[in-house]
């Protein structure tokens, strides 16, 4: 049996190349040897977005963008989280097996509060909803970035506690943290993140990509100096290169005469070409709303079938008539 891999993506704005090289490309390639479950986590986004137009727009865009990038809605199960509301019912049940102390220790919650987010109950119980996403679909593996590791540990805690009381209901998911990749840096050499305003959008127009690339921070090395490769321009460019061209770029950095401006101009073209095929697919999807709606419905039907089965087992187990 193929392993079931589950992943959720919050629709928090334009997808950027940090999202792509951090997670999305792994999800896409996992489809050849695993059973991928992937959803747009719009219930989660409600903890931080309270604007109807923005939430709707972001959710649709995330769905279309992920399709365009290569999530296969036939092979995989790909849906909008709120189309399968069973997840909130399970979250309620699970919240009775989740200790308040455990939630209070969530570093992501503490970080968000210290960044100025108002601590509403949705934000507080975010990890329970996430546990519900994972457990509802009997996920074997959940690949996440380091920032989500603690959430996954909470999921395992909750599932183990529940199984201890009611028997083997939930699959205990394995956590898969990707250590192989260094963090993907943004144009200022910090981690690429929407909250730092240092991202390069995957599907931005030429001007916005050009603008961000031109703003990549460079040092003041002179024309005839050898250039430092441990810098954001080199690191970002490398994401798009296989070993051989990466070595060649390295050589150019080690040879006097390299002009950062030329490298930047090249990089703009490299980025646009790299996603050209996906961009075309995205344009086609945007022009065909019926098709997108059909694919949303397909995902909903597939996900709901499994969700209802699990939820029914759980309700029976705990004694909910
Ligand atoms: N919390 C995740 C993030 O912000 C998104 C998410 C929601 C998720 N539910 C999930 C990820 C379940 C993996 C599994 O990136």
Asked if residues 161 and 27 have their Cβ atoms less than 8 Å apart, the reply is no
d(CA 9, CA 58): 11
Residue indicated by tokens 């950062």:
260
Range 309-316 average pLDDT:
98
Q: Check 54, 149, 161, 191 and give the catalytic one.
A: 191
Ligand 1 atom with least separation from CA of 129:
9
CA distances in angstroms from 105 to 151, 158, 207, 230, listed in the order given: 10, 14, 43, 35
pLDDT in tens, 85-136: 999 999 999 999 999 999 999 988 888 888 888 888 999 999 999 999 999 9
**pTM for the model:** 0.94
Cα–Cα distance, 272 to 267 (Å, whole number): 9
Tell me if 155 sits within 8 A of 127, measured CB to CB.
Answer: yes
Catalytic-residue membership of 265: no
Alpha carbon nearest to ligand 1 atom 7, residue: 8
pLDDT given at position 48: 85
Question: Are 90 and 311 contacting, i.e. CB atoms less than 8 angstroms apart?
Answer: yes
| Residues in contact with 66: Cβ distance below 8 Å, sequence separation at least 6, in sequence order | 9, 15, 24, 38, 40, 78
Tokens of 14: 């334009």
Separation CA 249–CA 54 (nearest Å): 40
Backbone angles phi, psi at 220, to 5 degrees: -100, 25
Segment 45-80, tens digit of pLDDT: 998 899 999 999 999 999 999 999 999 999 999 999
Domain spanning 4-183+289-318, CATH architecture: 3-Layer(aba) Sandwich (3.40)
Burial of 317 (0-12, 13-18, 19+ CB in 10 A): middle
pLDDT at residue 180, as a whole number: 64
Kindly state the DSSP code that residue 201 receives in the 8-state scheme.
Answer: B
Tell me: the pLDDT tens digits for 270-310?
Answer: 999 999 999 999 999 999 999 999 999 999 999 999 999 99
pLDDT at 116: 86
Cβ-contact 232, 216 below 8 angstroms? yes
Per DSSP, the three-state class of 39 is strand
Mutation to probe ligand 1, out of 4, 10, 150 (largest number of atoms < 8 A from CB): 10
Structure tokens at 95: 């919240």
Q: Which residues contact 72 (CB under 8 A, 6 or more apart)?
A: 31, 78
pLDDT digits (tens, 9 = 90+) for 248-267: 999 999 999 999 999 999 99
DSSP class of residue 79 equals E
Residue 118 annotated as catalytic: no
Which residues have a Cβ under 8 Å from the Cβ of 153 and sit 6 or more positions away? 175
Q: Looking at ligand 1, which residue's alpha carbon is closest to its atom 4?
A: 10
CB 56 within 8 A of CB 63: no
Give the tens place of pLDDT for each residue, 209-235: 999 999 999 999 999 999 999 999 999
CB atoms within 10 A of CB 143: 19
pLDDT in tens, 121-130: 999 999 999 9
- pLDDT of 146 reads 81
pLDDT digits (tens, 9 = 90+) for 27-48: 999 999 999 999 999 999 998 8
Neighbour-count burial of 101, counting CB atoms closer than 10 A to its CB (0-12 exposed, 13-18 middle, 19+ buried): exposed
Residue 265 alpha carbon to ligand 1 centre in Å: 35
pLDDT of residue 177: 86
Nearest residue to 225 via CA among 250, 249, 259? 259
Average pLDDT over residues 159-178: 95
How many other C-beta atoms can be found within 10 angstroms of the C-beta atom of residue 3? 13
Topology (CATH) of 204-274: Tyrosyl-Transfer RNA Synthetase (1.10.240)
- Give strand pairing partners of 185: 191
First CA to last CA across the chain, in angstroms?
33
- Domains of the chain by residue range: 4-183+289-318, 204-274
- Give the DSSP letter of residue 191: B
**How remote is the CA of residue 41 from the centroid of ligand 1, in Å?**
7
> What does the pLDDT read at residue 11?
94
* Maximum separation of any 2 CA atoms in the chain, in Å: 77
Question: What pLDDT does residue 103 have?
Answer: 93
């Amino acid at each position: 049996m193929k392993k079931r891999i589950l992943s959720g993506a919050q629709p928090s704005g334009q997808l950027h190349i940090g999202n792509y090289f951090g997670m999305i490309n792994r999800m896409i390639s996992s489809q050849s040897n695993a059973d991928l479950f992937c959803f747009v986590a719009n219930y989660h986004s409600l903890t931080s977005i309270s604007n109807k137009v923005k939430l709707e727009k972001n959710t649709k865009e995330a769905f279309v963008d992920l399709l365009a990038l290569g999530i296969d809605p036939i092979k995989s199960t790909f849906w909008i989280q709120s189309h399968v509301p069973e997840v909130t019912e399970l979250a309620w049940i699970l919240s009775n097996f989740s200790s308040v102390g455990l939630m209070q220790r969530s570093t992501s919650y503490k970080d968000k509060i210290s960044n100025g987010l108002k601590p509403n109950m949705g934000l507080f119980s975010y990890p329970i909803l996430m546990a519900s996403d994972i457990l509802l679909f009997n996920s074997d593996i959940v690949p996440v970035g380091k920032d989500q590791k603690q959430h996954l540990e909470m999921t395992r805690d909750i599932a183990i506690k529940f199984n201890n009381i009611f028997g083997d209901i939930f699959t205990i998911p394995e956590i898969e943290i990707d250590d192989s990749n260094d963090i993907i840096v943004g144009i200022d050499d910090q981690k690429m993140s929407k909250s730092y305003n240092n991202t390069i959008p995957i599907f931005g127009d030429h001007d916005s990509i050009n603008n961000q690339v031109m703003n990549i921070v460079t040092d003041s090395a002179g024309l005839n100096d050898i250039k430092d490769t441990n810098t954001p321009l080199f690191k970002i460019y490398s994401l798009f290169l296989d070993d051989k061209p990466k070595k060649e770029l390295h050589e150019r950095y080690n040879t006097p005469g390299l002009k950062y401006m030329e490298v930047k101009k090249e990089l703009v073209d490299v980025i646009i070409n790299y996603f050209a095929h996906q961009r075309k697919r995205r344009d086609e999807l945007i022009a065909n709303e019926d098709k997108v709606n059909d694919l949303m419905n397909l995902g909903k039907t597939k996900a709901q079938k499994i969700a209802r089965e699990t939820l029914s087992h759980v309700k029976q187990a705990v004694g909910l008539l």
